A and B are shown apart, each in its own frame.
Chain A
Amino acid sequence: MPRILVCYKWVLDEQDIKINRDNLSLDTSKAKYKIGEYDRNAIEEGVLLAEKLGGSVDVLTFGTAAVKQSLKDVLSRGPEKAYFIGDPLAEKADASVTAAVLAAAIRKIGPYDIILCAEGSTDEYNQQVAPRLAKMLDIPAVTFVNKLSLEGNQVQAARKLGDCTEVLHVEGAAVVSVMPEINKPRIPSLKQVLAAAKKPSEELKLTDLQLDEKALTPKVIKLSIRGFVMNRKNIIHKELSQTDNVAKLVAELAKEGVY
């Protein structure tokens, strides 16, 4: 029976981030955290595999101290145990640091037969942690997967790559990154939410992961993040009479010369 691990990221909900119009800085003061959108597909896929084949699903995350808040949410989605690394270093970590930390953690808590990641995280969307992890763990990477199955010791995965589709077969363990269309994540039931509180979680300390200074030094440093603003006319018709609204819009389109 397979041992399955899913990696996820606790991200700021981009829908709550506002842009300060005066200096284009981001206002994240009202933003709540969430499990990355696509990470939910990865978690669901792990749970689906375990439902079908038996086996176990663990989850692993690296973040700041805030990741602790994610544990109940993630465990309510079906996994049995959560491992987390909560360290201020995560604030500045680039994908090379994140992958190094996750790989070191997996060496400690593994081995796993299959390690699932999302195609990319909702905030950074770097799309590189899964293939980096695979290379670091010296197992094959199967990226951008939209159909997945496990048979005995073999991973079977279909990929869609813009101009073609293909099916991969991998002998032995693999790191798999999934596309959002692979499944529809379930909304946790009340029962699952309650059960989550009793499930185990374990904190791993960065200092116990035996990573050297170099592996923990980001190679990409953020100099600035500026909101993208569009200046649009924002002429919105909300009269009760749609006849009037449509007439106004048609006149405007004519005036713009697009109709």
Chain B
Amino acid sequence: MQGIWIYSEDSTIAKQLLTAGLNLKEAMNQPLGVITLDAGQAKSLIDSGADKVVVLKGENNWPESYAEAIGKFAVQEETGVLLVGGTLRGKDLAAKVAVSLDAALVTDAQSIKAANGSLETTRLMYGGLAVCTEQVSLPAVLTVPPSNFEEAKPVEGRKGETSTIDVSEFDQRISVNEVCPIVRQGVDITTAGKIVCVGRGISQKEDLKIAEELAQAMGAEIACTRGIAEDYHWLPEERYIGISGQKVKPEVYISIGVSGQVQHVAGIRDSKIIVAIDSNEKAPIFEAADYGIVGDLYEVVPMLTAALGKK
């Protein structure tokens, strides 16, 4: 098995994967290539470390429809490792390519190293409760979460070859319409220094005000659990924290009415100080907290807001 390849429909992620790819290249002594849909990025991908760039050129704007072509290419190249940017589109494509290659596929690999003709990877299991180390036989496809690696540093004038593959066969059974970008508004909670996080302990949307007042007194951003965003739609989706949401790393995170199930806690582990307010003394959030108050949030939070506001 040979050749390390990278693919992402998002060139920023492809450059992050080049960091992981360059490490593997050194350990496995194999060339490193990038498969891209964006011809305009070929040069900068080479500057960032790709020995080869293969541009897939076709009429179809739906990234997933290139799975077939990438699968064929990967087989023909006798690909050893294919790193795929772990967006939802990337995960869909990676699984199909893994079938074409008859390859292993590891989802959301966090660390990757070459070991005795195979790979060793780590990833989360049971909603973030555990870390699983796995031995992956080659050929291997790995999806890697966005921002897991820093972008590889470009070096001007690096040499590499670029080629183009024309893709003309697409699955006629599928048509894609009504493509709408989701416009993100407001702040990025992943970089917030202080966070007030609301959970389903808040009983109606109007009561979010209690949390907003606390956030204002502290200069914090509002975040939430999955249910508040996905089930109730009280807050935008990019405000929810957890294994399937955002990972945050504030100086202080205060939860109100959050039970602290592992899938949520997986997103707050890098917080410096974790504070929890919840009426259930047995809520798992208290095990994850530095400080906490057992009590009714409707009583405790306004008092805390007043006390913090006074200073």
CA distance A159 to B204 in the complex (A): 28
CB distance from A169 to the nearest CB of B (A): 5
Which residues of B103-150 are within 8 A (CB) of A?
Answer: 103-108, 120, 124-137, 140
A232 within 8 A of B: yes
Identify B105's interface contact among A96, A160, A227, CB under 8 A.
A96
Interface size class of A (residues with CB under 8 A): 35 or more
Q: Indicate if the CB atoms of B96 and A124 lie closer than 8 Å.
A: no
> Main secondary structure on chain B at its contact with chain A?
mixed
CB distance from A174 to the nearest CB of B (A): 8
A126 within 8 A of B: yes
Q: Indicate if the CB atoms of A222 and B176 lie closer than 8 Å.
A: no
Q: Indicate if the CB atoms of A227 and B133 lie closer than 8 Å.
A: no
CB distance from A249 to the nearest CB of B (A): 6
A122 within 8 A of B: yes
A164 within 8 A of B: yes
Q: Indicate if the CB atoms of B130 and A226 lie closer than 8 Å.
A: yes
Q: Indicate if the CB atoms of A233 and B291 lie closer than 8 Å.
A: yes
Q: Indicate if the CB atoms of A249 and B275 lie closer than 8 Å.
A: yes
Identify A245's interface contact among B131, B182, B293, CB under 8 A.
B293
Q: Indicate if the CB atoms of A228 and B128 lie closer than 8 Å.
A: yes
Q: Indicate if the CB atoms of A246 and B303 lie closer than 8 Å.
A: yes
Q: Indicate if the CB atoms of B95 and A128 lie closer than 8 Å.
A: yes
Identify B181's interface contact among A143, A163, A256, CB under 8 A.
A163
A203 within 8 A of B: no
Identify B252's interface contact among A136, A166, A258, CB under 8 A.
A258
Given the contacts A140-B174, A222-B133, A242-B300, A234 and B289 also touching, CB distance less than 8 Å: yes
B262 within 8 A of A: yes
A190 within 8 A of B: no
Q: Indicate if the CB atoms of B179 and A259 lie closer than 8 Å.
A: no
A162 within 8 A of B: yes
CA distance A223 to B106 in the complex (A): 14
CA distance A84 to B289 in the complex (A): 42
Q: Indicate if the CB atoms of B135 and A221 lie closer than 8 Å.
A: yes
Residue of B nearest to A236 (CB): B292
Residue of A nearest to B270 (CB): A230
Which residues of A lie under 8 Å from residue B288 when comparing CB positions?
Answer: 230, 232
Identify B291's interface contact among A15, A17, A126, A253, CB under 8 A.
A253
Given the contacts A132-B99, A258-B252, A163 and B290 also touching, CB distance less than 8 Å: no
CB distance from B12 to the nearest CB of A (A): 12
Q: Indicate if the CB atoms of A234 and B131 lie closer than 8 Å.
A: no
Given the contacts A128-B105, A132-B95, A166-B179, A237 and B294 also touching, CB distance less than 8 Å: yes
Residue of B nearest to A95 (CB): B105
Given the contacts A122-B127, A223-B133, A169 and B275 also touching, CB distance less than 8 Å: no
Identify A140's interface contact among B105, B132, B140, B173, CB under 8 A.
B173
Q: Indicate if the CB atoms of A227 and B173 lie closer than 8 Å.
A: no
Q: Indicate if the CB atoms of A167 and B176 lie closer than 8 Å.
A: yes
Identify A17's interface contact among B126, B269, B295, CB under 8 A.
B126
Q: Indicate if the CB atoms of A167 and B286 lie closer than 8 Å.
A: no
Identify B132's interface contact among A120, A160, A214, A225, CB under 8 A.
A225
CB distance from A237 to the nearest CB of B (A): 5
CB distance from A105 to the nearest CB of B (A): 17
CB distance from B146 to the nearest CB of A (A): 9
CA distance A29 to B160 in the complex (A): 55
Which residues of A lie under 8 Å from residue B300 when comparing CB positions?
Answer: 242, 245-246
Q: Indicate if the CB atoms of B289 and A232 lie closer than 8 Å.
A: yes
Question: Which B residues form the contact surface with A (CB < 8 A)?
Answer: 62, 67, 87-89, 91-96, 98-100, 102-108, 120, 124-137, 140, 171-182, 184, 194, 218, 230-231, 243, 251-252, 261-262, 265-266, 269, 272-276, 281, 286-295, 299-300, 303-304, 307-308, 311
The 5 A-B pairs at the shortest CB distance, nearest first, are namely A219-B104, A131-B95, A128-B95, A258-B252, A233-B290
Give me 21 A-to-B residue pairs in the complex whose CB atoms sit less than 8 angstroms apart, sorted by A's number. Answer: A17-B129, A95-B107, A96-B99, A96-B105, A131-B91, A131-B96, A140-B171, A164-B179, A166-B180, A169-B176, A214-B102, A223-B135, A224-B133, A225-B130, A230-B288, A235-B290, A237-B291, A247-B307, A249-B291, A250-B304, A250-B308
Q: A141-B95, A223-B133, A225-B133 are in contact. List 10 more A-B contacts (CB 8 A).
A: A17-B129, A95-B107, A128-B94, A132-B98, A220-B104, A220-B134, A221-B134, A227-B129, A246-B300, A259-B252
